[in-house]
Structure 1
């Protein structure tokens, strides 16, 4: 009796499942048979709307709507709307998917939810991508993998991986490589390369390389014809560098910085405080703790001035053709030496010292 009851229950369950999933369904403004789901083949002419398709979905000349796809969809001059995502591949004129996609989307235009796999189209848009997004124009929230566009990538979230396009606009952070003609991003950890320029509203940790770089803080290397940044820890190399604080190397034809700890090397160096080496044709600084080496050195306080012309309000040592200071706490060696207050006398050709 128990076996008969169990067999009856199993039979009812199997019959119920079979009645809700047709092996073959054909749709054209209606479904035949009118089952909710399809396990096998679903074909649509002009328009169809059904539930879950497990197998092969073939829309022809029109528009196909289904709840979910597990398998393969091929649109013959047709597009599709999958409400709750798919597992497999969807190929057609356009793909409009909600939910989560696992697999391949290939069409002229892709508008999907979360994608784990590959998106290929003239226009490819997704909420979040874990994989590859290929298109002429791409729009995403977060990208983890490769985001490649022929014209532009617009990422509303963050990029982890490789972001490549003539124009990249990332609202959040980039971890990996940002390669473009023009890059806009928040924070960058890795490589930021722009043929024309990089505009980073956040911080750079790694390499920032472009004709024009505008960024917050840079930890690593800032390489450009023109660098505009807040703080640099590492190397700031450009024809023109404008920074707030530099710890490391500040190298450019013209350097404008507030505090430099390390080496300030340029044809023209203009800074407030330098701790280390100030090397340039013309050095203008407020305080220099270390070596001030240039054809012309002008500073308020300096430790050592070596140049053709040296001027400092106060200094310990000056060596040049013309040396001038208010307070001299060490030596002046040059053709002409001028000091208002000097601690010790020196004997070059000409000395003008008010007191010794």
Structure 2
């Protein structure tokens, strides 16, 4: 009887914590969020394409794209997954392809990063940013404005500190294009 009472109390406690909390666990796929919610505070797995408004916690994408407007925490791509943030990300995105059209604070680590404004690190084979970045590390880094770029080919309209690589091009650079190192005038 005691074991049964403990089991019922435990089940009621777990059920009430899930009922009172926001969605702690979600599965997303094309036109499906289970449970049906737009905000996740916990863990989400997206297969093919999953979209929500907000993720606070860990977001996994498996063979497809995990998309959210705002993410605080970590995005992980598994088996050809991709991460897309539409407005704001704070944390880390680790994936084959990271696509951030808003503002990111933290790090984007992957094979390719397409970003807008990054207050942190872009580290991938190809970094492409339409806005401002603090640090780009990769084989090819292209940005509108950057503080530091390190790679084989670096190109920006405006460099704030330094570019280090085989070819470094900056519209405001000491030289428009220069090997090994370039810095602002």
Whole-Å separation in 2 of the counterparts to 1:346 and 1:326: 11
Partner of 1:244: 69
TM-score (norm 2): 0.76
Partner of 1:262: 91
Given that 2:169 and 2:177 are in contact with CA atoms closer than 8 Å, whether structure 1 keeps it comes out as: no
Matched, 1:327 2:154: no
Given that 1:293 and 1:306 are in contact with CA atoms closer than 8 Å, whether structure 2 keeps it comes out as: yes
Matched, 1:279 2:102: no
Aligned residues: 163
Aligned-pair distance for 1:344? 8.9
* Counterpart among 218, 231, 235 of residue 40 in structure 2: 218
Whole-Å separation in 1 of the counterparts to 2:135 and 2:98: 16
* Counterpart among 25, 33, 45 of residue 207 in structure 1: 25
Whole-Å separation in 2 of the counterparts to 1:333 and 1:217: 41
Partner of 1:308: 139
Q: What is the Cα-based RMSD across aligned positions, in Å?
A: 3.1
Structure 1 residues 318 and 256, CA gap change in structure 2 (3 angstroms): same
Bigger Rg over Cα: 1
Aligned-pair distance for 1:238? 1.5
Aligned-pair distance for 1:256? 0.9
Whole-Å separation in 2 of the counterparts to 1:244 and 1:326: 28
Structure 1 residues 255 and 320, CA gap change in structure 2 (3 angstroms): same
User: Match of 2:149, SS?
Assistant: strand
Partner of 1:340: 171
Larger helix proportion of the pair: 2
Whole-Å separation in 1 of the counterparts to 2:122 and 2:46: 25
Gaps of 5+ in 1: 1-145, 147-159, 163-173, 178-186, 190-202
User: Match of 1:311, SS?
Assistant: strand
User: Match of 1:341, SS?
Assistant: coil
Runs of 4+ deviating beyond 6 Å: 343-347
TM-score (norm 1): 0.41
Partner of 1:170: none
Gaps of 5+ in 2: 1-10
Higher relative contact order (CA 8 A, sep 6+): 2
Q: Deviations over 1:229-260 (max 9, x none)?
A: 11111111122211010001011221111211
Aligned-pair distance for 1:336? 0.8
